[in-house]
């Protein structure tokens, strides 16, 4: 790639590398005069004094190194963050490049410091390409027109594009640009870049207390980018995330350009909203690069501001705090997409190596792997990435090639699925995208199993079609044959087997065939019940009530799992009503007094009305304690334990967990006595409680 070629040319000036140390990877590009330091929580919020020319914290050991290495600036990486884990990350800037490996090691050795990270500089995954034929072939290829007949998207679903910025006043994007209501002083849902006393939005105040001043439509983190930045804006971060390169604007148009407006192009998420975040810049004569600390800040900003989807069309390494930012985003229910890369190899970037990030390879007009696209078993899905026509800077349009183009297309599809199912979490949306793909292994025999689930299909994703998961249902009556004198109750057992290697969310319902042949129901209907992969879930002694006015005769009791009303599997058995009270005025119903299929239904059990984390019991405890949390609906959950220094020492639960009250036992036999904290994080909830282990 071009980035790698010029890197060798300017290695003496720009690349900091090491072949032997643990912080730096040989040949990678790092910012030479900045590092990220994560302090232990007990240090608290730091007050930085820069009046002497050095950045001083009041902590002797830290200040000693700051003076030694000429640190002149120090600031929070995630300003305004409400999450405890994110509050103690700081960027330290030094006057002169030094021994980066030595600095990282020295700061990491300090007692107040949890860990340190370098800041890598990564390439955009794009290749410019001149027009050749046809505009936007990729939309029919992913069956967008058929999908739009069902779902056109919701402006409340925000797709964040951390990139080279966005041409936010482009006529094909302006009406789809996110506006920060907390800074939109005149409330007109538009960025008025003039003083508030003249009716504009600029008052030089952080009105929403998120650490950014006048961030009406996002933020620009690019600052002091150095002599190799040939962009129009290289020196100062500000509230104007304008894109002078075109890459971020191109990605934005692919995801959610204004559609059906008689100009320009269409975005896959017809009514979607784009959040502009500038973290990249023009780098000499190539298209651009991004910096990992800025990427981390942008991902956290998008999370704090309610983005549902983030598309990352650039390379990545676990530096600059990006790992913590992604952890936090996923814990808050954000769905992240990452371009697979343009190196035509099986090397996964940091983001693509994560199981909780969707990796996107690129395909051409014939569903073949794009010649440049990286591939591997780590790829999740594929999407068109060749000759993609979209918006660019200065109200223009052009074609680009790259997995950079494939990622926002998949992200736009996520916007449609979220709009279709607003109550779904990130794992459910991801699963729908996976299962709705068109398998292209037969077309790509040399890459079978290395292009993910296949090429995305918008129609299948929004209408519920696609590959049917390998699941089965079995209903077994207790004490057959079942003969009832109505009103009465019979009992049965349920087994749901999921042969997939991942959790599958299923709708579950029951029906009746009446003695006269008519079909009645559903008696019970539960949406999006999660079933763990490679596992059989059983429900024993499930009660089904037969009301007093049930006609005499033989019935068939049916159970179904699938995407209601589409059935993936079913099971049934017969029962007979021998006599009936025949009270047509009875308030009885088939669901009254029933425990319900699949372990739910009626008033047994009671589903919690809100998310909550209860006090563990016993507390203090010796070796074992029980932690209970309550979920009103299926949620993406992580329950973890931290020691007094703020280090995570155990993960007790992680993944999608169904509605209900759940109790998990922590066996602390191998842990030392002391104070610990247990933390529950769901899509929209975080709580931490204290417990004491006494041996």
User: DSSP H helical segments within 223-291, as ranges?
Assistant: 247-256
- Assign 427 to helix, strand or coil: helix
* CA dist., res. 361 & res. 665, Å (int): 41
Q: H or E segment at 483? A: strand 482-486
- Assign 553 to helix, strand or coil: strand
Give the Cβ contact number of residue 667 at 10 Å.
Answer: 11
Phi-psi region of 93 (alpha: psi -120 to 50; beta: other; left: phi over 0): beta
* CA dist., res. 559 & res. 62, Å (int): 64
* CA dist., res. 600 & res. 596, Å (int): 5
- Sequence-separated contacts (24+) of 364-367 with Cβ below 8 Å: 365/137, 365/141, 366/443, 367/141, 367/438, 367/440, 367/443, 367/444, 367/455
Biggest distance spanned by C-alpha atoms of the chain: 93
Q: H or E segment at 660? A: strand 660-667
Q: Which residues have a catalytic role annotated?
A: 163, 247, 404
Q: Look up tokens 């749901």; give the residue.
A: 496
398, burial (CB in 10 Å: exposed 0-12, middle 13-18, buried 19+): middle
Q: Are 311 and 298 in contact (CB under 8 A)?
A: no
Which residue from 416, 363, 411, 359 is spatially nearest to 388, judged by alpha carbons?
Answer: 363
Which residue from 506, 507, 489 is spatially nearest to 557, judged by alpha carbons?
Answer: 489
Distances (CA, A) of 233 to 243, 276, 441, 469, 625: 9, 15, 44, 49, 55
């Amino acid at each position: 790639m071009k980035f790698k070629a010029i890197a060798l040319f300017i290695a003496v000036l720009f690349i900091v590398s090491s072949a032997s140390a643990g912080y730096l990877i040989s040949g990678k590009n790092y910012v030479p005069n900045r590092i990220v330091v994560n302090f232990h929580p007990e240090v608290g919020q730091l007050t930085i004094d820069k009046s002497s020319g050095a950045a001083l914290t009041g902590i002797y050991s830290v200040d000693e190194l700051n003076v030694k290495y000429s640190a002149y600036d120090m600031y929070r990486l995630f300003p305004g963050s409400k999450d405890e884990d994110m509050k103690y990350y700081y960027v330290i800037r030094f006057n002169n490049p030094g021994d980066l490996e030595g600095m990282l090691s020295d700061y990491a050795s300090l007692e107040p410091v949890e860990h340190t990270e370098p800041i890598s500089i990564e390439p955009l995954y794009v290749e410019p390409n001149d027009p050749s034929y046809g505009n936007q072939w990729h939309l029919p290829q992913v069956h967008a027109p058929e999908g739009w007949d069902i779902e056109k998207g919701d402006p409340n679903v925000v797709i964040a594009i951390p990139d080279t910025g966005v041409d936010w006043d482009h006529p094909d994007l302006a009406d789809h640009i996110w506006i920060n209501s907390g800074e939109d002083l005149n409330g007109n849902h538009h960025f008025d870049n003039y003083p508030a006393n003249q009716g504009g939005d600029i008052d030089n105040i952080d009105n929403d207390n998120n650490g950014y001043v006048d961030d009406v439509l996002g933020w620009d983190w690019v600052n002091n980018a150095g002599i190799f930045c040939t962009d129009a804006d290289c020196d100062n971060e500000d509230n104007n995330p304008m894109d002078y390169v075109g890459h971020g604007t191109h990605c934005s148009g692919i995801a959610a350009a204004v559609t059906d407006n008689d100009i320009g192009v269409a975005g896959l998420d017809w009514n979607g909203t784009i959040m502009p975040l500038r973290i990249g810049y023009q780098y000499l004569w190539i298209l651009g690069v991004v910096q990992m600390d800025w990427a981390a800040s942008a991902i956290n900003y998008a999370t704090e501001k309610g983005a549902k989807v983030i598309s990352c069309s650039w390379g990545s390494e676990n530096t600059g705090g990006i790992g913590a930012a992604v952890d936090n985003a996923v814990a808050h229910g954000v769905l992240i997409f990452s371009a697979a890369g343009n190196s035509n190899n099986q090397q996964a970037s940091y983001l693509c190596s994560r199981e909780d990030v969707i990796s996107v390879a690129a395909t051409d007009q014939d569903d073949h792997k794009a010649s440049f696209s990286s591939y591997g078993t780590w790829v999740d899905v594929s999407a068109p990435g060749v000759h993609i026509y979209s918006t660019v800077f200065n109200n223009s349009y052009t074609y680009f090639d790259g997995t950079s183009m494939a990622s926002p297309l998949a992200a736009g599809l996520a916007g449609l699925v979220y709009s279709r199912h607003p109550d779904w979490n990130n794992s459910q949306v991801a699963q729908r995208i996976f299962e709705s793909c068109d398998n292209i292994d037969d077309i790509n025999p040399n890459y079978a199993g290395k292009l993910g689930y296949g090429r995305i299909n918008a129609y299948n994703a929004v209408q519920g079609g696609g590959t049917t998961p390998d699941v089965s249902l079995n209903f077994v009556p207790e004490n057959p044959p079942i003969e009832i004198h109505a009103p009465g109750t019979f009992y049965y057992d349920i087994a749901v087997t999921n042969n997939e290697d991942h959790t599958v969310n299923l709708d579950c319902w029951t029906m009746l065939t009446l003695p006269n042949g008519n079909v009645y129901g559903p008696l019970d209907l539960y949406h999006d019940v999660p079933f763990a992969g490679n596992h059989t879930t059983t429900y024993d002694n499930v009660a089904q009530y037969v009301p007093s006015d049930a006609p005499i005769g033989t019935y068939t009791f049916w159970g179904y799992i699938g995407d209601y009303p589409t059935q993936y599997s079913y099971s049934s058995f017969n029962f007979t009503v021998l006599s009936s009270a025949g009270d047509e005025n009875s308030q009885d119903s088939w669901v009254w007094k029933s425990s319900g299929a699949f372990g739910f239904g009626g008033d047994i059990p009671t589903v919690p009305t809100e998310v909550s984390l209860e006090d563990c019991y016993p507390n203090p405890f010796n070796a074992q304690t029980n932690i209970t949390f309550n979920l009103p609906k299926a949620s993406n959950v992580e329950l973890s334990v931290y020691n007094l220094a703020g280090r995570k020492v155990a993960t007790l639960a992680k993944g999608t967990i169904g509605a209900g009250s759940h109790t998990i036992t922590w066996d602390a036999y191998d842990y030392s006595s002391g104070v610990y904290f247990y933390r529950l994080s769901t899509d929209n909830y975080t709580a931490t409680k204290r417990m004491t282990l006494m041996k």
